[in-house]
Amino acid sequence: MAATGGRHFLQIPGPTNVPDRVLRAMAAPTIDHRGPEFAELVRELLPALGPVFGTTRPVVVYPSSGTGAWEAALVNTLSPGDRVLASETGHFATLWTELAGRLGLDVDMIPGDWRHGADPAAISERLRADTGHAIKAVCVVHNETSTGVTSRIPELRAALDSAAHPALLLVDTISSLASIDYRHDEWGVDVTVAGSQKGLMLPPGLGFTAVSDKALHAHRETAGLPRAYWDWTPILAANGGGYYPYTPATNLLYGLREALAMLAEEGLSAVFARHQRHAAATRAAVRSWGLEVLCADEREHSGSLTAVLLPEGQDADAVRRVILDRFDMSLGTGLGRLAGKVFRIGHLGHFNDLSLAGTLAGVQMGLQLAGVPIKPGGVEAALELLK
């Protein structure tokens, strides 16, 4: 890599850039997680987390990656052999259902082209046909980080309601929480899964599940998958006193407190609008270059990242390599079946107009240096929109 001054541009769609305020908040002595100061921190943190999820119900925080929170959502609500319905929106929807299969769940995956969100009509059809209510949960990735496509959760909720189907609705918001409008309670979601390393502007290391009353009931009355570390019951009991039944990630929780304060200062609706605006400016750039945005439905463009499809015969990873070598910027690679075909621009978390301008300038120069035939006006198109 070329030696450069200035900061690395970390423009993958998570982990995202951690604000200095959050870094400073984490650089504090680790305290006794069974002492009074820690209990005070937790009693302050847990209620402050609710608004970010759009919930007044419990949010369980794990020292884990997002994958751990995926597992927690399943083992706390389902039993061996239970059927779960999912939509193949991309790489992460696929990985979640593979994990479900390894836990002994029976997955019905509605095939997809990785350019659209979960189809409410297809889900509705499956639910209506399931008159015996064998399907116990519908699993959806709100924002597919591999494709830059957002699924329309209120329409999926309506599909469950209009079929009068009792399945739980489990939603992965790992790359949408605190970036794209999301409402756990209002949208009738039963378990919302999240992670620390994207919209929450923290390093990786915290996993979250927000839990509805219905999910808690399923957890207590019916769920029979083996669970130990992920079990909500002892965690919720300990949380009541401000504690955890294991050693929590104390310093990440300091960071979380600071990140939540930053989000509250900006206001969540302003945070969502900022992400939408940067996403629109990014699409303006991509289209001006004469390239294609992977997301194929105008209603489903992601606010937090944009996947850029390269013309046949061009290697997206070669473009990423040039950009890393020359401009010290990391972009997201193509995952699964999109390997080599797309690169992904993360525009989420701690990010502003000039971060976007710099990011798009690096992408434009990198495309040109890598020999991808583009029209040159992309950056200007984005700047026009930002002005």
Ligand X SMILES: Cc1ncc(COP(=O)(O)O)c(C=O)c1O
Give the one residue of 71, 82, 172, 258 binding ligand X; rule: CB under 6 A. 172
92 interacts with ligand X by CB under 6 A: yes
3-state secondary structure the chain: CCCCCCCCEEECCCCCCCCHHHHHHHCCCCCCCCCHHHHHHHHHHHHHHHHHHCCCCCEEEECCCHHHHHHHHHHCCCCCCCEEEEECCCHHHHHHHHHHHHCCCEEEEECCCCCCCCCHHHHHHHHHHCCCCCEEEEEEECEECCCCEECCHHHHHHHHHHCCCCCEEEEECCCCCCCCCCCCCCCCCCEEEEECCCCCCCCCCCEEEEECHHHHHHHHHCCCCCCCCCCHHHHHHHHHCCCCCCCCCHHHHHHHHHHHHHHHHHCHHHHHHHHHHHHHHHHHHHHHCCCEECCCCHHHECCCEEEEECCCCCCHHHHHHHHHHHHCEEEECCCHHHCCCEEEEECCCCCCHHHHHHHHHHHHHHHHHCCCCCCCCHHHHHHHHHC
Q: Is 16 in the site for ligand X (CB under 6 A)?
A: no
Min dist CB 381 to ligand X, Å, is: 28
> Contact region for ligand X (CB under 6 A) — 62-70, 126-134, 162-170, 379-387?
62-70
Q: Rounded CA gap, 244 and 242, in Å? A: 7
CB 169, min distance to ligand X, A = 16
Which of residues 165 and 347 has its CB atom nearest to ligand X in the complex? 347
- What's the min distance (Å) between Cβ of 28 and ligand X? 24
Q: Which stretch binds ligand X (CB under 6 A): 118-126, 149-157, 172-180, 219-227?
A: 172-180
**Residue 124 or 147 having the CB closest to ligand X:** 147
Query: Closest separation between CB of residue 15 and ligand X, Å?
Result: 9
Phi, psi angles (nearest 5°) of residue 117: -80, 180
Query: Closest distance between ligand X and the C-beta of residue 142, in Å?
Result: 8
Exposure string for 305-318, b = 16+ CB within 10 A, e = fewer: bbbbbbeeebbbbb
Looking at the Cβ atoms of 66 and 248, the one nearer to ligand X is 66
Binding residue for ligand X, selected from 87, 94, 97, 175, defined by CB under 6 A: 175
Give dist(CA 226, CA 230) in Å, integer: 10
Rounded Cα–Cα distance for residues 184 and 211 (Å): 9
Instruction: Output 251 or 368, the one with its CB closest to ligand X.
Output: 251
Q: State which residue, 15 or 378, has the beta carbon closest to ligand X.
A: 15
Q: Closest approach of Cβ 177 to ligand X, in Å?
A: 10
Between 124 and 175, name the residue whose CB sits nearer to ligand X: 175
Q: Out of 42, 59, 139, 141, point to the residue binding ligand X (CB under 6 A).
A: 141
One residue of 195, 334, 346, 349 binding ligand X per CB under 6 A: 195
State the Cα–Cα distance between residues 177 and 43, nearest whole angstrom: 21
Interface residue with ligand X, options 9, 14, 72, 363 (CB under 6 A): 14
Question: What is the closest distance, in whole angstroms, from the C-beta atom of residue 99 to ligand X in the complex?
Answer: 10
Q: What's the min distance (Å) between Cβ of 175 and ligand X?
A: 4
Q: Is 334 in the site for ligand X (CB under 6 A)?
A: no
- Token representation of residue 13: 């769609």
Among 50, 67, 296, 314, binds ligand X (CB under 6 A): 67
Nearest distance from C-beta of residue 227 to ligand X, angstroms? 18
Name which of 86 and 370 has its Cβ closer to ligand X: 86
| Stretch of 64-72, 181-189, 322-330, 337-345 contacting ligand X, by CB under 6 A | 64-72
In this chain, which stretch among 32-40, 160-168, 171-179, 246-254 interacts with ligand X, using CB under 6 A? Answer: 171-179
Confirm or reject binding of residue 66 to ligand X (CB under 6 A): yes
Given 10, 45, 48, 65, the residue binding ligand X (CB under 6 A): 65
Any idea which residue has 């989000």 for tokens? 263
Site residues for ligand X per CB under 6 A: 14, 65-67, 92, 141, 145, 172, 174-175, 195, 204
